[in-house]
Amino acid sequence: MIQRTRPQYTYKNSTQTLRQGLEEYYAVNSDFTHPNQMPPDFAKIMLAHDVSHVVFGCDTDMYDELKLLPLTFLASDFKFRDWLRERKNPAVDVMYDDLVKRQGLLWLYVSILAVLPRFLPELVVMWFKTRGSRKYYPFFDFEALLERSVLEIRQEFGLLPLLSSKKSNEIQLQANLVK
């Protein structure tokens, strides 16, 4: 099994700035199309999505991609109704079509089904932890946060309890097995 180094921004207590985390996200995912190469309306959505990966400490595997959407709805000012509105953007269809073309529809559904049993209990926990939430992370208006540490942002918006240490434990276990 090919192992890659875990990005620093995925660590719960990462002290790198949001800008550094975003740079690392693009370096680790160099095969992804950078938002500056996209149409402006779609680039805005993708950049905010990519920043959310860093803020919520999510990697790009299927589990974390599934986790990112409810985290965004529950802990940011971008809600399900906003997603439905943005989903109508034709550029979003291009992204989904590209994913299906690259990986295949069967791969997509099997990948989702494979992680659902592990993901659903965490989704319930996320929902309970965000009930009565207070201060929402700004999904589109993140620019003022770029020079702040990811840890500081997570603390300010009460995100630390939502970041799973389960993944940290799994990665540590994998590291111990490799030794």
The domain locations on the chain are 8-165
- The pLDDT, as a whole number, for residue 3 is 62
And the tokens for 68? 């990112």
Q: Which residues contact 54 (CB under 8 A, 6 or more apart)?
A: 9, 18, 21, 22, 24, 25, 150
Please provide residue 97's backbone torsions phi and psi, each rounded to the nearest 5 degrees: -60, -40
Residue 5 confidence (pLDDT): 81
Q: What is the pLDDT of residue 132?
A: 79
Alpha helices, H only, 29-158: 40-55, 62-75, 80-87, 90-103, 105-130, 150-156
Predicted pLDDT at 23: 97
Q: What is the mean pLDDT of each run of 10 residues along the chain (179 residues)?
A: 79 97 94 85 90 95 91 94 84 72 85 92 90 88 98 95 64 42
